[in-house]
């Protein structure tokens, strides 16, 4: 169990590093606009799995709902409503504009997590 937590933690750290590089150096295009959103939900998945490695089979769906809620919050400009609009870190973290394509990217990332979880569970059950 401890080994799984370490592996998930390492995966989360790597994904955070990749996300940071994307935020700093990719200024548009496929990587910033789509891959970054897909990796963001995979990062959240890996981070949560660091602390809860098993016994939450619907985690990808829960993460999707959270990500979609954040995106809908962007439609209502919640960063400004929370008084965080002037802080560049929070504007980057929370996002600034609603886009249905972002929700599609979150769905794709969560689908990848769900598929990987299904395959791992299936492999484990065969052993």
- pLDDT tens across 33-90, in order? 999 999 999 999 999 999 998 888 899 999 999 999 999 999 988 888 888 888 888 8
Instruction: With cut-offs at 50, 70 and 90, classify the pLDDT of residue 119.
Output: very high
Question: What gap in Å lies between CA 108 and CA 122, rounded to an integer?
Answer: 21
Instruction: With cut-offs at 50, 70 and 90, classify the pLDDT of residue 111.
Output: very high
Which residue, chain included where needed, has tokens 């990062």? 43
Domain count, the chain: 1
What is the pTM assigned to this prediction? 0.89
Residue 48 belongs to what domain range?
2-126
Question: What gap in Å lies between CA 51 and CA 104, rounded to an integer?
Answer: 27
């Amino acid at each position: 169990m401890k080994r799984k937590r370490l592996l998930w933690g390492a995966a989360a750290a790597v994904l955070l590093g990749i996300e940071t590089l994307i935020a700093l150096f990719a200024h548009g295009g496929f990587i910033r606009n789509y891959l970054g959103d897909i990796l963001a939900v995979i990062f959240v998945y890996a981070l949560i799995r660091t602390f809860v490695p098993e016994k939450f089979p619907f985690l990808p769906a829960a993460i999707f709902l959270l990500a979609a809620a954040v995106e809908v919050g962007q439609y209502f400009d919640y960063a400004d409503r929370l008084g965080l609009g002037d802080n560049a870190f929070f504007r980057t973290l929370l996002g600034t504009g609603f886009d249905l394509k972002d929700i599609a990217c979150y769905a794709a990332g969560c689908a990848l997590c769900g598929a990987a979880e299904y395959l791992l569970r299936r492999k484990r059950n065969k052993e």
